[in-house]
Protein backbone atom coordinates (compact mmCIF):
# COMPACT_ATOMS: atom_id res chain seq x y z
CA UNK A 1 0.00 0.00 0.00
CA UNK A 2 1.53 3.29 -0.97
CA UNK A 3 0.79 6.45 0.87
CA UNK A 4 1.42 8.84 -1.97
CA UNK A 5 -1.16 9.98 -4.42
CA UNK A 6 0.89 11.48 -7.17
CA UNK A 7 -0.59 10.04 -10.31
CA UNK A 8 -3.71 11.11 -12.03
CA UNK A 9 -6.17 8.28 -12.02
CA UNK A 10 -5.74 6.89 -15.49
CA UNK A 11 -9.12 6.57 -17.00
CA UNK A 12 -8.51 4.09 -19.73
CA UNK A 13 -10.98 4.27 -22.56
CA UNK A 14 -12.57 0.90 -23.09
CA UNK A 15 -11.89 -1.05 -26.28
CA UNK A 16 -15.32 -0.52 -27.78
CA UNK A 17 -15.00 2.55 -29.97
CA UNK A 18 -18.52 3.88 -30.12
CA UNK A 19 -21.70 3.98 -28.14
CA UNK A 20 -25.30 4.65 -29.02
CA UNK A 21 -25.40 7.60 -26.64
CA UNK A 22 -22.32 9.19 -28.17
CA UNK A 23 -20.45 9.45 -24.88
CA UNK A 24 -17.10 7.96 -24.05
CA UNK A 25 -16.81 4.78 -22.07
CA UNK A 26 -14.24 4.40 -19.36
CA UNK A 27 -13.00 1.35 -17.56
CA UNK A 28 -13.45 2.01 -13.85
CA UNK A 29 -10.41 1.48 -11.64
CA UNK A 30 -11.17 -1.47 -9.41
CA UNK A 31 -9.97 -2.91 -6.16
CA UNK A 32 -10.75 -6.53 -5.46
CA UNK A 33 -10.53 -7.89 -1.94
CA UNK A 34 -11.11 -11.43 -0.82
CA UNK A 35 -12.72 -11.67 2.60
CA UNK A 36 -13.74 -14.69 4.61
CA UNK A 37 -17.31 -14.47 3.21
CA UNK A 38 -16.51 -13.87 -0.40
CA UNK A 39 -15.16 -11.22 -2.69
CA UNK A 40 -15.68 -7.46 -2.60
CA UNK A 41 -15.21 -5.30 -5.67
CA UNK A 42 -14.78 -1.55 -5.37
CA UNK A 43 -15.12 0.40 -8.60
CA UNK A 44 -14.44 4.10 -8.99
CA UNK A 45 -17.31 5.68 -10.87
CA UNK A 46 -17.32 9.40 -10.13
CA UNK A 47 -20.49 11.12 -11.33
CA UNK A 48 -22.62 7.99 -11.27
CA UNK A 49 -25.64 7.82 -8.96
CA UNK A 50 -26.91 4.57 -7.45
CA UNK A 51 -29.94 4.39 -9.76
CA UNK A 52 -27.73 4.63 -12.85
CA UNK A 53 -25.71 1.52 -12.17
CA UNK A 54 -26.57 -1.70 -13.96
CA UNK A 55 -25.25 -5.05 -12.91
CA UNK A 56 -25.92 -7.99 -15.15
CA UNK A 57 -24.84 -11.51 -14.37
CA UNK A 58 -24.95 -13.74 -17.37
CA UNK A 59 -23.16 -17.06 -17.75
CA UNK A 60 -20.77 -16.26 -14.91
CA UNK A 61 -19.86 -12.90 -16.46
CA UNK A 62 -20.72 -9.96 -14.26
CA UNK A 63 -21.07 -6.82 -16.38
CA UNK A 64 -21.13 -3.51 -14.57
CA UNK A 65 -22.31 -0.38 -16.32
CA UNK A 66 -22.65 3.11 -14.94
CA UNK A 67 -24.23 6.09 -16.59
CA UNK A 68 -22.56 9.37 -15.75
CA UNK A 69 -24.25 12.61 -14.81
CA UNK A 70 -21.91 15.15 -16.36
CA UNK A 71 -21.00 18.11 -14.18
CA UNK A 72 -21.69 21.27 -16.15
CA UNK A 73 -21.72 24.48 -14.15
CA UNK A 74 -24.39 26.74 -15.62
CA UNK A 75 -23.48 29.89 -17.50
CA UNK A 76 -19.77 29.05 -17.47
CA UNK A 77 -17.51 28.07 -20.33
CA UNK A 78 -15.03 25.21 -20.01
CA UNK A 79 -11.50 26.58 -20.20
CA UNK A 80 -9.27 23.77 -19.08
CA UNK A 81 -9.82 20.05 -18.90
CA UNK A 82 -7.72 17.38 -17.26
CA UNK A 83 -10.31 14.65 -17.22
CA UNK A 84 -13.12 13.63 -19.46
CA UNK A 85 -16.54 12.44 -18.47
CA UNK A 86 -18.27 9.42 -19.80
CA UNK A 87 -20.02 6.21 -18.90
CA UNK A 88 -18.30 3.32 -17.23
CA UNK A 89 -18.21 -0.30 -18.21
CA UNK A 90 -16.29 -3.30 -17.04
CA UNK A 91 -16.92 -7.03 -16.96
CA UNK A 92 -15.59 -9.69 -14.64
CA UNK A 93 -15.72 -13.44 -15.01
CA UNK A 94 -16.65 -15.11 -11.78
CA UNK A 95 -15.90 -18.56 -10.59
CA UNK A 96 -18.78 -20.97 -10.13
CA UNK A 97 -19.01 -20.83 -6.39
CA UNK A 98 -20.84 -17.52 -5.94
CA UNK A 99 -24.44 -17.30 -4.95
CA UNK A 100 -26.07 -15.12 -7.64
CA UNK A 101 -29.06 -14.30 -5.42
CA UNK A 102 -26.90 -12.81 -2.73
CA UNK A 103 -24.87 -10.36 -4.80
CA UNK A 104 -25.16 -6.95 -3.22
CA UNK A 105 -24.19 -3.55 -4.60
CA UNK A 106 -24.08 -0.07 -3.08
CA UNK A 107 -22.81 3.30 -4.28
CA UNK A 108 -21.18 5.79 -1.94
CA UNK A 109 -19.21 8.90 -2.93
CA UNK A 110 -18.81 7.70 -6.48
CA UNK A 111 -17.52 4.27 -5.55
CA UNK A 112 -19.54 1.16 -6.33
CA UNK A 113 -19.06 -1.63 -3.86
CA UNK A 114 -20.17 -5.06 -5.00
CA UNK A 115 -20.13 -7.91 -2.52
CA UNK A 116 -20.18 -11.43 -3.85
CA UNK A 117 -20.74 -13.94 -1.07
CA UNK A 118 -19.55 -17.43 -1.72
CA UNK A 119 -22.21 -20.09 -1.86
CA UNK A 120 -22.64 -21.96 1.42
CA UNK A 121 -21.53 -25.25 -0.03
CA UNK A 122 -18.38 -23.66 -1.39
CA UNK A 123 -17.21 -22.38 1.97
CA UNK A 124 -14.44 -24.47 3.44
CA UNK A 125 -15.73 -26.97 5.95
CA UNK A 126 -13.73 -28.61 8.57
CA UNK A 127 -14.19 -32.32 8.66
CA UNK A 128 -13.92 -33.90 12.02
CA UNK A 129 -11.75 -36.94 12.20
CA UNK A 130 -13.13 -39.64 14.38
CA UNK A 131 -10.98 -41.99 16.24
CA UNK A 132 -11.86 -45.47 15.20
CA UNK B 1 -5.51 13.80 -24.52
CA UNK B 2 -9.20 14.45 -24.33
CA UNK B 3 -11.04 17.44 -25.57
CA UNK B 4 -14.58 16.57 -24.73
CA UNK B 5 -15.80 20.13 -24.64
CA UNK B 6 -14.18 21.58 -27.69
CA UNK B 7 -16.93 20.78 -30.09
CA UNK B 8 -19.00 23.70 -28.90
CA UNK B 9 -16.10 26.00 -28.19
CA UNK B 10 -16.45 29.58 -29.23
CA UNK B 11 -12.89 30.72 -28.72
CA UNK B 12 -10.40 29.13 -31.13
CA UNK B 13 -7.46 30.72 -29.33
CA UNK B 14 -8.38 28.98 -26.11
CA UNK B 15 -8.27 25.66 -27.93
CA UNK B 16 -4.85 26.52 -29.35
CA UNK B 17 -3.61 27.50 -25.95
CA UNK B 18 -4.85 24.32 -24.38
CA UNK B 19 -3.19 22.29 -27.14
CA UNK B 20 0.06 24.12 -26.50
CA UNK B 21 -0.37 23.47 -22.83
CA UNK B 22 -0.62 19.75 -23.50
CA UNK B 23 2.46 19.92 -25.67
CA UNK B 24 4.35 21.60 -22.85
CA UNK B 25 3.22 18.98 -20.44
CA UNK B 26 4.25 16.20 -22.78
CA UNK B 27 7.80 17.47 -23.26
CA UNK B 28 10.25 15.51 -21.14
CA UNK B 29 12.23 18.63 -20.16
CA UNK B 30 9.46 19.55 -17.80
CA UNK B 31 9.26 17.13 -14.95
CA UNK B 32 5.58 17.82 -14.57
CA UNK B 33 3.92 14.98 -12.73
CA UNK B 34 0.29 14.37 -13.29
CA UNK B 35 -1.39 15.65 -10.20
CA UNK B 36 -4.26 14.28 -8.20
CA UNK B 37 -7.09 15.08 -8.30
CA UNK B 38 -7.62 15.80 -11.98
CA UNK B 39 -9.54 19.04 -12.36
CA UNK B 40 -11.62 20.80 -14.95
CA UNK B 41 -11.90 24.57 -14.91
CA UNK B 42 -14.89 26.59 -16.07
CA UNK B 43 -14.98 30.34 -16.42
CA UNK B 44 -17.57 33.00 -16.84
CA UNK B 45 -17.83 36.74 -16.39
CA UNK B 46 -18.90 36.51 -12.78
CA UNK B 47 -17.48 33.27 -11.55
CA UNK B 48 -14.96 30.48 -11.91
CA UNK B 49 -15.82 26.87 -11.24
CA UNK B 50 -13.49 24.00 -10.57
CA UNK B 51 -14.65 20.43 -10.73
CA UNK B 52 -12.61 17.52 -9.48
CA UNK B 53 -13.17 13.79 -9.42
CA UNK B 54 -12.63 12.44 -5.93
CA UNK B 55 -14.27 9.03 -5.86
CA UNK B 56 -14.29 7.38 -2.47
CA UNK B 57 -13.24 10.52 -0.63
CA UNK B 58 -15.51 11.53 2.20
CA UNK B 59 -16.56 15.21 1.95
CA UNK B 60 -15.42 15.59 5.56
CA UNK B 61 -11.88 14.69 4.54
CA UNK B 62 -11.58 17.50 2.02
CA UNK B 63 -10.18 20.90 2.90
CA UNK B 64 -10.73 23.87 0.65
CA UNK B 65 -9.19 27.21 1.46
CA UNK B 66 -8.84 30.47 -0.40
CA UNK B 67 -6.20 33.06 0.30
CA UNK B 68 -6.05 36.05 -2.02
CA UNK B 69 -6.07 34.44 -5.42
CA UNK B 70 -4.79 31.00 -4.47
CA UNK B 71 -7.22 28.17 -3.91
CA UNK B 72 -5.87 25.17 -2.06
CA UNK B 73 -7.60 21.84 -2.27
CA UNK B 74 -6.28 19.15 0.02
CA UNK B 75 -7.51 16.04 1.69
CA UNK B 76 -7.08 12.39 2.09
CA UNK B 77 -8.34 9.41 0.22
CA UNK B 78 -8.60 6.70 2.83
CA UNK B 79 -8.05 3.02 2.31
CA UNK B 80 -11.48 1.36 2.51
CA UNK B 81 -12.35 -0.69 5.55
CA UNK B 82 -11.85 -4.34 4.87
CA UNK B 83 -12.16 -7.10 7.42
CA UNK B 84 -9.01 -8.29 9.11
CA UNK B 85 -7.23 -11.05 7.26
CA UNK B 86 -8.56 -10.12 3.82
CA UNK B 87 -6.44 -10.64 0.77
CA UNK B 88 -6.08 -8.00 -1.91
CA UNK B 89 -6.41 -9.48 -5.38
CA UNK B 90 -6.23 -6.26 -7.26
CA UNK B 91 -5.40 -2.72 -6.27
CA UNK B 92 -5.82 -0.20 -9.04
CA UNK B 93 -7.12 2.68 -7.00
CA UNK B 94 -4.78 5.04 -5.20
CA UNK B 95 -4.98 6.18 -1.62
CA UNK B 96 -3.26 8.81 0.44
CA UNK B 97 -3.05 12.50 1.07
CA UNK B 98 -3.29 14.98 -1.72
CA UNK B 99 -2.97 18.71 -2.11
CA UNK B 100 -3.30 21.03 -5.05
CA UNK B 101 -3.05 24.80 -5.26
CA UNK B 102 -4.54 26.81 -8.08
CA UNK B 103 -4.14 30.40 -9.11
CA UNK B 104 -7.44 32.09 -9.64
CA UNK B 105 -7.87 34.94 -12.11
CA UNK B 106 -9.00 37.20 -9.25
CA UNK B 107 -8.70 37.50 -5.49
CA UNK B 108 -11.69 35.72 -4.03
CA UNK B 109 -13.35 36.35 -0.72
CA UNK B 110 -14.39 33.42 1.44
CA UNK B 111 -18.09 34.20 1.39
CA UNK B 112 -18.19 33.86 -2.38
CA UNK B 113 -16.84 30.33 -2.44
CA UNK B 114 -19.28 27.47 -2.57
CA UNK B 115 -18.37 23.80 -2.66
CA UNK B 116 -20.65 20.86 -3.33
CA UNK B 117 -19.97 17.18 -3.61
CA UNK B 118 -22.17 14.78 -5.51
CA UNK B 119 -21.40 11.17 -6.42
CA UNK B 120 -17.69 11.64 -5.87
CA UNK B 121 -17.43 14.78 -7.98
CA UNK B 122 -16.48 17.97 -6.19
CA UNK B 123 -17.62 21.28 -7.60
CA UNK B 124 -16.26 24.56 -6.28
CA UNK B 125 -17.78 27.80 -7.54
CA UNK B 126 -15.90 31.01 -6.78
CA UNK B 127 -17.81 34.21 -7.34
CA UNK B 128 -15.94 37.25 -8.50
CA UNK B 129 -16.03 40.04 -5.90
CA UNK B 130 -17.98 43.11 -6.98
CA UNK B 131 -15.01 45.45 -6.56
CA UNK B 132 -13.03 43.30 -8.96
CA UNK B 133 -15.59 43.36 -11.73
CA UNK B 134 -14.77 45.56 -14.69
CA UNK B 135 -16.53 48.89 -14.57
CA UNK B 136 -18.00 50.49 -17.57
CA UNK B 137 -16.87 54.05 -17.97
CA UNK B 138 -19.31 56.47 -19.37
CA UNK B 139 -18.03 58.94 -21.91
CA UNK B 140 -19.33 62.35 -21.21
CA UNK B 141 -19.88 64.93 -23.87
CA UNK B 142 -17.26 67.65 -23.49
Same domain, B3 and B72: no
Same domain, B40 and B72: yes
> Which of A86, A70, A111 shows the shortest CA–CA distance to A25?
A86
Same domain, B72 and B10: no
Same domain, B60 and B104: yes
Residue A68, pLDDT > 80, answer yes
Beta strands in chain B (DSSP E): 39-43, 47-53, 62-67, 70-77, 87-91, 96-103, 113-118, 121-127
CA distance A131 to chain B (A): 32
Residue B87, in any domain of the structure: no
Q: Any idea which fold A12-71+82-120 has?
A: Immunoglobulin-like (2.60.40)
Domains of chain B: total: 2
ipTM of the complex: 0.73
Nearest to B57 among A30, A107, A109 (CB): A109
Same domain, B21 and B63: no
pLDDT per position as a tens digit, B51-88: 999 999 999 999 999 888 899 999 999 998 888 888 89
Pairing type for strands B70-77 and B96-103 reads antiparallel
B140 at A interface, C-beta within 8 A: no
The parent domain of residue B103 ranges over 35-79+96-130
Residue B89, in any domain of the structure: no
Same domain, B46 and B73: yes
Under the banding of pLDDT at 50, 70 and 90, the label for residue A5 is very low
Tell if the CB–CB gap between B39 and A82 is shorter than 8 Å. Answer: yes
- On average, the pLDDT of chain B sits at 81
Q: Which helix (H) or strand (E) holds B95?
A: none
Rounded mean pLDDT of A8-20?
Answer: 62
Under the banding of pLDDT at 50, 70 and 90, the label for residue A10 is low
Amino acid sequence: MTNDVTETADKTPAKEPETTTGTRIYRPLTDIVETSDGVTLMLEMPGVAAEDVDLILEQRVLTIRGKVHPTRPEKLQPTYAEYGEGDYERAFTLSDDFDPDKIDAAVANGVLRVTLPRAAEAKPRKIAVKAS
Amino acid sequence: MLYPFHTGRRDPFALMQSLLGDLNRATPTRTAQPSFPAINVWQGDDAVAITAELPGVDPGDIDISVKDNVLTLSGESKVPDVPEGSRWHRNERRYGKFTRALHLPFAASDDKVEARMANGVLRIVIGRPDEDKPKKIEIKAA
